[in-house]
Structures are given as C-alpha cells and as structure tokens.
Structure 1
Amino acid sequence: MPLWCHASPAAAGAAHSEPALPLAGGNARVSPEVSAEQDEEGEGDGRRWSSLVPELLADILRRVDADAEKWPKRRDVAVCACVCRRWREVTIALVRPPLHCGRVTLLSSLKQPGPRDAPLQCFIKRNKKKSTFHLYLSLTQALIDEGKFLLAAHRNKCGFHMEYIISIRGDLSHGSHVGKIKSNFTRTKFTICDLQPQYEGSKVPSSSCRPRLASKQIKPLASTGNVETGKVSYEYNLLKSRGPRRIRCSIRCPIEEDTEIDPRKAKKPSTPGSLVLYNKLPQWHEHLQCWCLNFHGRVMVASVKNFQLIAPAGAGGPWGIQDDDAVILQFGKIEDDVFTMDYRQPLSAFQAFAICLSSFGSKLVCE
C-alpha cells in the first residue's frame, strides 16, 4: 500500500493537467521545459513532471514534506506521490515512518509501528445502527475534532461468533479490506488477521477459495491471504470476583528497526517477534467506591471497555520499551459513541484498532 488512499484524485489529476505545481507554503512554481512537438502530441502532461532533474525533484519533495508538519497539510505530500511513478518513488524514499517522525502520511504507515517518544492520539466513532466503527487521527489537542480518517470496520455476526472487517475506506467498499478480527464461541478470544498481498510467484488460490468477480480475473500479485498477527483474550469472571476485565494480547511486531518505508527497497526485512501485553489493573477507590485508572484527561466516561495495555517487566527490551509502566495502548470512552485511542511503538494503527474493536460487544462471562 504505497499511497495514502484519501489524497484527492482530483488534486492528483490537477497536477497532471496544470502547467506548474504550487509548492506548499509559497507561490513559487516549477515547470520543466517541454518541446512543442511533445505538447501537441498530448505527451507533455505525462512527461512534463517525470522529466525533472532527480536532484531538483528530490529537493522539491523534501521541501513539501518539511513544510507539512501535520494534517491537513500532509495531504500535499500524498498528492505529490500521486503525480506519476517517479514522483511516487521519490516521495516514498523521503517520507519517514511514524516510528521516527511521529506522523502518519502514507497508507503503509497504518501497518508500521507508532512513534517511540509520544503516542499518536486518535479517536473512534461508533454507529450502533449500522454496526460500523471509524478511526480518526486527532488534528488538535482536543479530545475530538474533525479528525483525519484512517480506518473503518464493520461488525458481522456469524452465529455466536463475531467478526470485524477492517477497511481503508469509510464506505467499507469491496476491495478495500486490509484485515479482520474474529472471535470464538464465547467472544472471549479474538484472532487478528492481516490481509496481505502475496509475493510474486506464490501460488494463487484456487477458484473455489477466492471470490469470483464478474468477467474479471484476480492477478497473482493482487491475490491476498490472511496472516495471523495477534490474539486478544479476556479472562473468565463468571462470579465477578476478579474485578474489572483482564486482557492479554499476544501481538507480532517487528523487532529490528527499519527506516525504509518501502519494503521492496529495504536491505534487511524486519523480523517479527511476539510481544505479550497485559492491561494495567485499576485500583479500588474507597471514597468514590469504584475502580479507578489514571487516563491523564483522555477519558471522560466510566466504562468497562476502558483499558490501558502495558508490557511485563523486562519484556519490552527488544522493542525499545525501557519503562515498564509505559502505556502502549490506551482506550477509553469520552461520549456515548466516541472513544479515544492512543497508541505507540511497537503497535501499528491497524493492530491498535483491532485490539480496541475486541473490547466492543457484550461478554457475559467476563463481567
């Protein structure tokens, strides 16, 4: 997924048709020389931007990236990647992953580890009638704002089982699914599956296993497979004697740091390792007569769904987690259908969203 799916196609198309590209934060325009013959043949728009000198092109995109600190200005970077193949390759090489820059820019950032120093603040909007959930990146320090859309999910009931389909589009259209999370019979154990494109030359699923498309064949590189990337389990608590929910997550996360955002250009693929996370147990407050947990102002409503995930002592070393009390993922309720979601390294936005989805729905054997 090299590009950010919500960079406006109209804006990308405009970059092809307009004679010059406005630079973010200024009025300067750069338009390479194109011969009249090429322009008359209709090839000027296609070659105009790809014929820039490599050093000049890299400098232009570097300035656009440096000027766009956060969304919505980051949209300029994504639009630049939509101009042509050459611009896309340079943009992918320049944009740093969230682990090092703390920003989500391209689609690939959604499945890369979050920032190391401070968590990315997001929020989830739930629609009970449609059984849909939308994840947004917070644009301000407020608990909820307009937000930048990241992911969406739809809940399906398959008998007593529960399944959440995760998509990169808000309308959850076919072909935009990037993963899913499914539960067991008692809805206490969930499996996170990542929908990844298979490598070139891999065996294509048989016609009986893959969906049929009207008069269209699925190419080998477009075929997909479910890769299990984590499990979430909730402890049984039938007699309600253990207090609030107890959560255990086993997530496969990359151990080796890789600054290359394009996996095809990475010198050494990162090795995934299994990281176990537990929820931080709340303390009983005698005066308030309730279980309390410090969410540092990010949660406003008491709910059994609220939780904080931390790594056991000494278990976070390979991932650079030095503080045993460091919260890796925080999820809590702020309104009836709005929840905050703050995540950091080594979890990605996709993994954090999937874990939070498992918290929704009734669990009669847990509370």
Structure 2
Amino acid sequence: MYNLFFASLVTYFEVKTQKSNYERVGIEETGELSPSLISAINNLAIDNSDDESSDDQVELDEDPVDTSRDERPAYAFDESTATLSQPVGPAEHLRAIVINRPTAQMISVFRLQKTREQMSEKEVTDFVMNPVPQGQKVLCKIIRSKDGFGKFYPQYELYIEDISENGEETRTFLLAARKRKKSKSSHYIITTDKLDVAVSSKNIVGKVRSNFLGTAFAIYSKGRNPFKRESESSNLPVREELGAVVYDPNILGFKGPRKMTVLLIGMTRNGERPEFRPETDAQTLIGKFKNGDHRDILVLHNKSPQWNEETQSYVLNFNGRVTLASVKNFQIVHDNDLDYIIMQFGRVEEDTFTMDFIILNTF
C-alpha cells in the first residue's frame, strides 16, 4: 500500500501545468465526464515498451521535472464526519456496501513494531506491498533530492514518520524512486534501497509508466511485462497492476489545482488486495475506465479546493501537516463523502513533503 501511494505521488510531481485562455473543466457536478477529460481518456494508452537505453547516461535536453517553487497558498477549513457509501462493490460477486468512516476516537497513529535494521528484505517488501492496518493513520515524509544531475532526474525517498508525545520526530526509510534516464516516456523505478535505484536493482518493488502526453500513469509490481514478446524475466509471473492515475489536462490560464482521478482494485471484505494481472490494454485499469467498465474498481478524486477572495488563495484543511503553499498540495476523497480525507499530501519545506493516509474499513 505504501508502494501504491508513493507511486501515485511520483506521478503528481511529473505532471506539468498547461496554460491557456480557456476555462478549466473536469468532472461535472452531474458525475459525467467533461470534454477535456474525455479527450484525455482517448489518449490514455501507456507506453509499455521496455527501453533498452542505459540508466548510466544522462540526457540533458529532455524536458526536466518542474522543480520550481509553486504559487497560490492553501489554507484551512475544518472537516465534518459522516459515512461513506461505495457505489461499486469490491468484487464482482459482492453488492455495494456501506463503508463506516472511523471517528477521531477510533483512529490511532500507526507505528512500526520493528526497526528497519531488524526487518529482512522479504519483510520490508511484504510490508510496503500489503494493506496497512485498518483504522490507523499513517504519517509519512517524502524527501526530494535534486543535487547535481538530480535537478533533471530527482530522487524521491519515502519515510514513515513517528512523533513522540514530547514532539520528537523519528523517520524510518521505506522506499526510493527515480526517473529512468533516456526513457521514451516518464518511467520511474521504485526500490527498497535508496542507494540502488536502478533498473537492474534486485530490490525493485514497483514501476510507474506514463502515456506519451503524461496525463495517465500505470503503477505495476515487479514481474513480466505481458506486452513484450520476449523478456529476460519470462520465467516470472505477469506483473500486477497496483493502480493508475489519470490527470484532467489543466487548461486554466494560471497555476491552478490539477484534477486527478485515482483508480484502484477494491479490497475484499477481509481487507485483502486481490491480485490483478491484466494481459491486454482493455483489461488494464485505464482500459476498463476508458470503456466505462467500473466493476471492481474504486474511483477516487482529489478534493477540489475553493477559491477564497479574502486570502486570494485555494483553501483546504491539512490540520497543520502542510505549512507551505504549493499547487502540489492535495487531498484524495471518494465522491460519496468529500469530507473524509483518505490521503493528503503537501509541502513543508522546499524539498520535503508530508504524506498521510487512513485506509477505509472496507474497500
């Protein structure tokens, strides 16, 4: 689960803001897709070809990741409490169910039971790939490194954050991600070793790939690419698709908030994540979403901030976990309960970000 959320955030860093004189449109209030999102969906094919170029070469003329400081501050409003009703069953044979949102009294902060040094590599991999305990809030920090050539190919490191009663903070490293060099499209490697973020790393636990336009991203586990006829990893099982992220092209004339749609496979009643190994484009999460087949798919969106004339800013409540203004600050919600924040992300320093999430009682 950490791998999935971390990969989703990597896509958010990658997306670049577009400028236009047209008004920005997204998911309409009626629930129908807007023209701009329909256009984006029609171009969602992910580049699944494996690049043969070496990761040891740096191509400086590639359009770099936008690491400039963002504008438009984000401020706070309080959230309410309610119950989230999921319109799509977590499995085809299950009916829609009601998801009970945990109250503040029911939520506890997740803490590791072992230090990273005490965990084997298998334990680390299992930990980042499996769902976290339900009803627990997970606090994380993401550090972006862009020294030297890192300005063009930043490395992102994910840490679990533990804050003691006296306010002391400790961090435990979990994952690192880096964009592949000389890749035809945006292609990130995610590993459990921050010193070995290469395509040949034995510690790879996930990959992120985009379409040509950079408006859609698929998140995979380690495994065989079914779209490649011959592969050195042919003895491995077909990779799992862990999730996908689709961005509504931002055609607002300034750096406004971006519209993102997160696609996940629904969890079972027992809190387990079913395996999902598509072998054709139509079977992928994006393929099913494009064709209007939302069975077994949990569709989430970023919460739309409201423009505040008094502060001249977009406002969202991050409960003190976000301290710097950025258009990268966002919260993920389900359409049936826009006040229940499933995940939030935001900037606290120039290259430091918080990522917090609470897993729903049942997907």
User: Following the alignment from structure 2 to structure 1, what is the Cα–Cα distance between the partners of residues 167 and 219?
Assistant: 27
1:244 aligns with 2:284: no
| TM superposition outliers: structure 1 runs of 4+ over 4 Å | 76-79, 141-144, 157-160
Partner of 1:185: 212
Partner of 2:45: none
Contact (CA 8 Å) 2:142, 2:159: kept in 1 or not? Answer: yes
Q: Which moved more, 1:239-248 or 1:160-169?
A: 239-248
User: Following the alignment from structure 2 to structure 1, what is the Cα–Cα distance between the partners of residues 360 and 210?
Assistant: 23
Partner of 1:231: 244
AA matched with 1:209: S
Higher relative contact order (CA 8 A, sep 6+): 2
Q: 1:112 to 1:253 in 2, by over 3 A?
A: farther
1:331 aligns with 2:345: yes
Contact (CA 8 Å) 2:185, 2:212: kept in 1 or not? Answer: yes
1:312 aligns with 2:358: no
* Residue 109 (structure 1) shift: 2.3
AA matched with 1:328: I
Contact (CA 8 Å) 1:143, 1:298: kept in 2 or not? Answer: no
Task: Specify the SS of the correspondent of 2:127.
Answer: helix
User: Following the alignment from structure 1 to structure 2, what is the Cα–Cα distance between the partners of residues 283 and 147?
Assistant: 33
* Residue 273 (structure 1) shift: 3.4
Partner of 1:195: 222
Partner of 2:192: 168
Residues 148-159 of structure 1 aligned to structure 2 (within 5 Å): 148-158=172-182
Q: 1:78 to 1:253 in 2, by over 3 A?
A: farther
Instruction: Say which of 115, 118, 141 aligns to 1:75.
Output: 115
Amino-acid identity (%):
32
TM-score of the two chains, using structure 1 as the length reference: 0.52
User: Following the alignment from structure 2 to structure 1, what is the Cα–Cα distance between the partners of residues 208 and 144?
Assistant: 17
How many residues are treated as equivalent by the alignment? 221
User: Following the alignment from structure 1 to structure 2, what is the Cα–Cα distance between the partners of residues 230 and 259?
Assistant: 15
* Residue 210 (structure 1) shift: 1.1
User: Following the alignment from structure 2 to structure 1, what is the Cα–Cα distance between the partners of residues 224 and 185?
Assistant: 26
Q: 1:167 to 1:338 in 2, by over 3 A?
A: same
AA matched with 1:276: V
Contact (CA 8 Å) 1:78, 1:106: kept in 2 or not? Answer: no
Q: 1:253 to 1:150 in 2, by over 3 A?
A: farther
AA matched with 1:156: R
Residues 22-171 of structure 1 aligned to structure 2 (within 5 Å): 70-71=111-112, 74-75=114-115, 78=118, 106-129=124-147, 130=150, 131-140=154-163, 145-158=169-182, 161-171=185-195
Contact (CA 8 Å) 1:115, 1:344: kept in 2 or not? Answer: no
Q: 1:309 to 1:295 in 2, by over 3 A?
A: same
User: Following the alignment from structure 2 to structure 1, what is the Cα–Cα distance between the partners of residues 205 and 360?
Assistant: 19
1:291 aligns with 2:314: yes
Partner of 2:281: none
User: Following the alignment from structure 1 to structure 2, what is the Cα–Cα distance between the partners of residues 144 and 181?
Assistant: 34
User: Following the alignment from structure 1 to structure 2, what is the Cα–Cα distance between the partners of residues 197 and 253?
Assistant: 23
AA matched with 2:343: L
User: Following the alignment from structure 1 to structure 2, what is the Cα–Cα distance between the partners of residues 276 and 302?
Assistant: 27
Partner of 1:358: none
Task: Specify the SS of the correspondent of 1:186.
Answer: coil
Contact (CA 8 Å) 1:253, 1:346: kept in 2 or not? Answer: no
* Residue 111 (structure 1) shift: 1.7
Partner of 2:359: 345
Instruction: Say which of 315, 324, 331 aligns to 1:301.
Output: 324
* Residue 343 (structure 1) shift: 1.7
Task: Specify the SS of the correspondent of 2:222.
Answer: strand
Query: 1:268-316: CA deviations, max 9, x gaps?
Result: xxxx932100111111112110111110000011111111000121xxx
AA matched with 1:175: K
Task: Specify the SS of the correspondent of 1:107.
Answer: helix
Task: Specify the SS of the correspondent of 1:244.
Answer: coil
Q: 1:299 to 1:175 in 2, by over 3 A?
A: same
Contact (CA 8 Å) 2:157, 2:175: kept in 1 or not? Answer: yes
Instruction: Say which of 187, 207, 210 aligns to 2:232.
Output: 210
Query: 1:176-234: CA deviations, max 9, x gaps?
Result: 10111111222111111122599xxxx9x98x4116xxxxxx9x5xx353222221111
Contact (CA 8 Å) 1:113, 1:346: kept in 2 or not? Answer: no
User: Following the alignment from structure 1 to structure 2, what is the Cα–Cα distance between the partners of residues 76 and 151?
Assistant: 11
* Residue 244 (structure 1) shift: 1.5
Query: 1:140-184: CA deviations, max 9, x gaps?
Result: 169994411111111125456211111111212611101111112
Q: 1:177 to 1:300 in 2, by over 3 A?
A: same
User: Following the alignment from structure 2 to structure 1, what is the Cα–Cα distance between the partners of residues 116 and 167?
Assistant: 25
- In structure 2, runs of 5+ residues without a counterpart are 1-109, 274-294
AA matched with 2:351: D
* Residue 136 (structure 1) shift: 0.2
Contact (CA 8 Å) 1:167, 1:179: kept in 2 or not? Answer: yes
* Residue 126 (structure 1) shift: 0.6
User: Following the alignment from structure 1 to structure 2, what is the Cα–Cα distance between the partners of residues 324 and 244?
Assistant: 16
Contact (CA 8 Å) 2:159, 2:174: kept in 1 or not? Answer: yes
